[in-house]
Amino acid sequence: MAMITFRINRFNPDDERRGHYMQEYQLDVEKGMTLLDALNEIKWKQDGTLTFRRSCRSGICGSCAMTINGVNNLACETQVLEFGGSTITVEPMRGYPVVKDLVVSLDPLIRGLLAVKPYLISHSPPPSDQERLQSPEEREKIDGLYECILCGSCTSSCPSFWADKEYIGPHAALKAYRFVADSRDEGSAEHLEALDDRHGLWRCHTIFNCVEACPKDLNPTKAISELKKELVRRRLG
Amino acid sequence: MTNFDPETIHDVEGVPIHSVHRHDVVIVGAGLAGMRAAYEASSEFDVAVLSKVFPTRSHSGAAQGGVAASLANEEEDHWEWHMFDTVKGSDYLGDQDAIEVLVKEAPVVVREFEHMGCPFSRTPEGRIAQRKFGGHTKDFGKGGPVLRACYAVDRTGHALLHTLFEQCVKNEVRFYPEFHALSLIVRDGVCRGVVAWDIMNGGAHVFHAKTVMFGTGGYGKAFKITSNALANTGDGLSLVLRAGLPLEDMEFVQFHPTGLYRQGILVSEAVRGEGGYLLNKDGERFMERYAPEKMELAPRDLVSRSIQTEINEGRGCGENGDYVHADLRHLGEEKIMKQLPQIHELAWKFLHVDCIKDPIPIQPTAHYSMGGIPVDIDCQVLADGKEKPVTGFYAAGECACVSVHGGNRLGTNSLLEASLFGRRAGKSIVRFLRETRKFPELPADAAKDALAEVERIISADGPEKPGLLREELQEKMMIECGIFRDAEKLGKLENWLKELEARFEKIGIDDRSEKFNYDLLEAIELGHMIEFAELIVAGALRREESRGAHSRTDFPDRDDKKWLKHTLAWKHGGKIDFDYKPVTITRFQPQERKY
């Protein structure tokens, strides 16, 4: 048990003149308590106006990504006592418009996602009474890609996105590569179209922030470099 | 209404005209059931999907182990075997006509997911890989466990959910993310739409529709230890009650045997399917005592009761003796990291347990609602709970009760049920819309009740804190209406819930703003939880037998003479009215249930 101070960004859209400010809350934290548990405790017992997104509590829905002591992570997967210090600073993810307190608008994230035609494109009809065949080796090529939970941590941490709000974002590149690398997909050209653009892949300067930010240990930078190779191959080929 | 023109946009009192929308189909819930229906109907009609969270955040995505289908990719299997297992698993309360539909169509539905691009794990031949799960057996229960659960590593729900979302994007389904349903508009037996709250901007919206479908999911959040998401507050169920419609078999609540200790987070049954052991404090595989043949692969109700018995009799682990161990160590690092990587991650992140080296502390966790909105096999909601459909109203998935799970659901049958009956709902809706050109009349006072509710709660300044009331409710439900029940506990709880209802009238909230006000919405959700909790408890008190997940210590046996029937319950004023209907039995007569 330890008394922890939570410094939390507050922003009330109905009081824009006040703008953003930090508010402190104290809470007795026991071992095993996650940041999401702590935020809920504060909301339910101290201040019902504190606002954040949350749902599954188990790191799979992607709702509760936020900036915790300067680093993007899921609140539900963050153990409060593991930071060691007595104060934790919690802010909304940077790069996205803030809606209220820790809630951001993910419209830029969704826009980027939709641009890469994020679905399997197949022109040949599947067999009618059975599955398409895919060898375990082919299937392995989309490991590390299909697990994305669309939490937005990567794109929020990307300096290219900070500078260019039209930048498609590492999450969209990862999704595109999930299909380009899938042996069943026949639409690489369509997935790649939006990426071969001045707001596309070429904005990535391999800073690797996205890799560090991903709570699922995925590697969007690697996906981007594979896609860049694919684009170059297509141009030369 | 002589001059009524159905094609004009209606004025709805209290709602601005730009907040009145019109779609052929309005679906509430963007999990597997809702999105599978949307995918089906969107090829022909204008479909809108409302969800209180962004679609990929729906709780279907948290399912881990697999989706059942007798593909026979790995070994011999037949839909008849799957049917027998499901009927027996349901403790003979499942309706066998519906179960037959479920098991026969399962292979088609699973292969369709593959065609959509779902990243299933593969066999060496390149087919969809399958694993073992509790209660799924060979040769009508006479053989050992069968490889039937089709899986994508241990992230099957996530893989299916994202695949469906992608396909809905492709079909240009209109999503309204972060819209919270407030009421269902039903007049004269005809469903006319829903009223929903725009979470992001604030404000009530009316969705006028020819057909409405509910895929609103379960209500695990009414219990203290649960695998469910914070969003799983069962709103859809009490919206149906408030519209004067019944709910079915609400007393049947599944406790999943393996929730992460204290957090209740799901530890997939795949852990046992892949060969994991359950151990008590003496390191004993205690399932030997309760299911000598199937051991850890017995169905969930039985395994949960066994764990709880070990704990109650002093053989639990830890200081408080309130958990047991799931032991994977003998599976080895390679198998764990290849087949159960998410379990490894969850145990590490939440409990700091490396399951390659140490066993995982687990306890039973409220997981799934077998009961729900009564529907027929075409997913039409039944006004009398028996045969009379509500025109234009459909439901599928966990919120519905068709009933394929009866008293206890087998693992991997829920992803199957949600997607299969979601698909059937979509097909029913298409058939209905091909015949129905006109929108039903939208009454001018359609939003009256919803607006009054929001107004009452957003300005509520009483002494009771919703967060504390919810905590009390969750604790009482867990202890007094949990795995083991009896008349005394249930009777007390029934009275206490009436008091809670009265206290809920005196709540106060802090946030008075309209934009992104979860303080408001959580209080509204609490109101729903109290309402359907009363039905769970009242139904459990009346059902004087033990069947499936409903286990009465004062009536330990199944009583087919009196209780081989479904419960139907309505709420009229403050009073609960009950009715019952027979179980549909076709191929398999009830037998003693042993594993």
CA–CA distances in Å: residue A171 to residues A52, A109, A168, A194: 22, 8, 8, 14
Contacts of B263 in chain A (CB under 8 A): 32, 57-58
Contacts of B127 in chain A (CB under 8 A): 130-131, 133
Read out DSSP for B91-109?
Answer: TT-S-HHHHHHHHHHHHHH
**Side-chain half-sphere exposure of B593, counting CA atoms within 13 A:** 28
What's the DSSP call for residue B147?
A: -
User: Own/partner pairs for A129-132, CB < 8 Å, 24+ apart?
Assistant: A129/B111, A130/B111, A130/B127, A131/B111, A131/B114, A131/B115, A131/B120, A131/B127, A131/B128, A132/A184, A132/B114, A132/B115
A91 pLDDT above the threshold of 50: yes
Provide the 3-class DSSP secondary structure of residue B354: coil
Looking at the complex, does the CB of residue A133 fall below 8 Å from at least one CB of chain B? yes
Looking at the complex, does the CB of residue A131 fall below 8 Å from at least one CB of chain B? yes
Q: Report the distance separating Cα A189 and Cα B366, nearest Å.
A: 46
| CATH (one of 3.10.20.310, 2.60.40.3140, 3.10.20.30, 2.30.30.60) for A2-104 | 3.10.20.30
What is the set of active-site residues of B? Answer: 300
Q: Which residue of A has its CA nearest to B518?
A: A51
Q: Which amino acid is at B589?
A: Q
B8 pLDDT above the threshold of 60: no
Does this chain's domain A2-104 share its CATH topology with A107-236?
no
* CA–CA min distance B440, chain A (Å): 34
Residue A16 pLDDT level (bands cut at 50, 70, 90) = confident
Provide the 3-class DSSP secondary structure of residue B207: strand
B255 and B362 Cβ atoms separated by less than 8 Å: no
CB contact under 8 A, B127 and A133: yes
The whole-model pTM stands at 0.97
Quickly count: other Cβ atoms within 10 Å of residue B581's Cβ: 17
pLDDT one-digit tens code per residue, B475-515: 999 999 999 999 999 999 999 999 999 999 999 999 999 99
Place of tokens 């009956």: B421
Place of tokens 């290219």: A160
pLDDT one-digit tens code per residue, B153-166: 999 999 999 999 99
Per the omega criterion (within 30 degrees of 0), is the bond before B403 cis? yes
What's the DSSP call for residue B70?
A: -
**Side-chain half-sphere exposure of B422, counting CA atoms within 13 A:** 34
pLDDT one-digit tens code per residue, B395-420: 999 999 999 999 999 999 999 999 99
Read out DSSP for chain A?
Answer: -EEEEEEEEE--TT-TTT--EEEEEEEEE-TT-BHHHHHHHHHHHT-TT-------SSSSS-TTEEEETTEEEEGGG-BGGGG-SSEEEEEPPTTS-EEETTEE--HHHHHHHHHT--S----SPPPTTSPPP--HHHHHTTTTTTT-----HHHHT-HHHHH-TT---HHHHHHHHHHHT-TT---HHHHHHTTSSTTTGGG-----HHHHH-TT---HHHHHHHHHHHHHHHHH-
What's the confidence (pLDDT) of residue B573? 85
What's the confidence (pLDDT) of residue B2? 37
What's the DSSP call for residue B331?
A: G
Selected residues 220-239 of chain B with any CB under 8 Å from a CB in chain A: 229-231
CA–CA distances in Å: residue B526 to residues B469, B493, B501, B514, B583: 8, 17, 10, 19, 32
B13 pLDDT above the threshold of 80: yes
What's the confidence (pLDDT) of residue B3? 41
Provide the residue ranges of all domains of chain A, joining segments of one domain with +.
2-104, 107-236
B230 and A55 Cβ atoms separated by less than 8 Å: yes
Contacts of B473 in chain A (CB under 8 A): none
pLDDT one-digit tens code per residue, A158-212: 999 999 999 999 999 999 999 999 999 999 999 999 999 999 999 999 999 999 9
Q: Report the distance separating Cα B374 and Cα B283, nearest Å.
A: 44
- CATH number, domain A107-236: 1.10.1060.10
Determine the residue among B162, B167, B173, B367 to mutate to test chain A binding: the one whose Cβ has the most chain A Cβ atoms within 10 Å. Answer: B162
Read out DSSP for B541-566?
Answer: HH--S-BTTBEETTB-S--HHHHSEE
Q: Token pair of B354, please?
A: 């490396």
ipTM over 0.90? The verdict is yes
- A-B contacts at Cβ under 8 angstroms: 167
Contacts of A119 in chain B (CB under 8 A): 116-117, 166-167, 169-170
